[in-house]
Amino acid sequence: MSGRLLRLVCTAAVAVGTALAPLPAAAVPEPEPRERSVADLVTDLQRLYREAEEATETYNATEEKLKEKRAEVARLDTQLSKARLSLHDSRGAAGRLARQQYQNTTTISPYVRLLLARDPQHALDQGHVIGQLARERAVTVGRLTGTEHRADELARRARTALDDQLTLAARQKRERDAVQEKLTDVEELLASLTAEQLTRLAEFEEKGVEKAQEELTTSGALGEEDRKPTRRGETALRYARRQLGKPYEWGAEGPRTYDCSGLTSEAWAHAGTPIPRTSQEQWARLPRIPLKNLRPGDLVIYFPKATHVAMYMGRGKVIEAPRTGERIKVSPIAAHPLLGAVRPDRRDRPQTARTRKGDGQPPATEAR
């Protein structure tokens, strides 16, 4: 191919390539970003709140373990101090025995002294005393050895407990940071919404709760009987009512702020029935009851992982510490996805008119 023809072919190829090249990106209009639906926003917000509450309950569980470990460390330290004091006394007694033994050393055996004694009976009596002293010395030495072993064992357990405490404290810090991170996500989502979106969001969520409540009540799942609380249940419920309007705060157990399980555990502790601190442990360790058997004071557990709890107050309502930014309030029982219910005072009989007047509580019996 001649040089001129080659140049013509190259020029034509360049022209064709230019004609077929795609338009610059700026020339193609981008689609308008689609506004997220209210349902999507509610789903995201509820997920973030749920994740924050899961992180909170995990933190609470670690806090409970840390309290127990601190108490164990304090108890072991007290026992170790007493053991060391006892060891000091035992060593003092052993030292006195050693000095006495040294001062009473003789080359003549007790058997020879008995043979040479003018009064054999006196020698025998003296030998009895010597034997008694020997036994006392053996007890002292044994006590010293036992005290040394006990002090060593207590020291080992105290070191282990302290290491566990430090490990739990480090875990608690990580979990506290995780809660703060989840709450930051919630704040960022809320800050990105307009006032109109927030209003629509609240209305949409409220309608969803109303629908869930209606479906639950019409299904008959709550039963028709208006049950009475036990004496302790009424006391716990009265305590919870007094907290209405106080702010929610994650990890709080009162008296000014509470989280969900902080409210329920403190209410029942006030009624004289200590229960686990976290909603997961309340669900795992307290007796479960059907929803149709609910009575005031029972605890209602929410979400598949048991990460939220409220106190039943009757007529399909609960008292709850809902979430960050809200206050303790009365809510429909179906305000969140139900998991089940538990009863802290399973063996107490519901009150009668007589017991509500303060005439005393009937004997404990199994309640439905």
Q: What is the pLDDT of residue 361?
A: 43
Lowest mean pLDDT among 100-114, 154-168, 197-211: 100-114
User: Reduced to 3 states, what is the DSSP secondary structure of residue 78?
Assistant: helix
Whether residue 12 has pLDDT greater than 50 = no
pLDDT bin (cut points 50, 70, 90) of residue 367 is very low
**Prediction pTM value:** 0.65
Q: Which residues contact 181 (CB under 8 A, 6 or more apart)?
A: none
Q: How far apart (Å, rounded) are the C-alpha atoms in residues 137 and 93?
A: 9
Amino acid letter for position 80: L
Identify which has the larger pLDDT, 343 or 355: 343
Strands 338-342 and 308-314: unpaired
Q: What is the pLDDT of residue 360?
A: 42
- Residues 236-268: b if buried by 16+ CB within 10 A, e if exposed: bbebbeebeebebbbbbbbeebbbbbbbbbbbb
Whether residue 15 has pLDDT greater than 50 = no
Q: How far apart (Å, rounded) are the C-alpha atoms in residues 151 and 83?
A: 5
Q: What is the pLDDT of residue 104?
A: 55
pLDDT bin (cut points 50, 70, 90) of residue 127 is low
Q: pLDDT tens across 273-305, in order? A: 999 999 999 999 999 999 999 999 999 999 999
Q: How far apart (Å, rounded) are the C-alpha atoms in residues 355 and 344?
A: 19
Q: What is the pLDDT of residue 344?
A: 96
Position of tokens 């907290």?
243
Amino acid letter for position 258: Y
Lowest mean pLDDT among 1-10, 132-141, 166-175, 321-330: 1-10
How would DSSP label each residue in 95-144?
HHHHHHHHHT--SS-HHHHHHH-S-HHHHHHHHHHHHHHHHHHHHHHHHH
Q: In what order do the strands lie in the sheet with 338-342?
A: 288-289, 338-342, 299-302, 308-314, 317-320, 329-332
Q: How far apart (Å, rounded) are the C-alpha atoms in residues 316 and 210?
A: 12
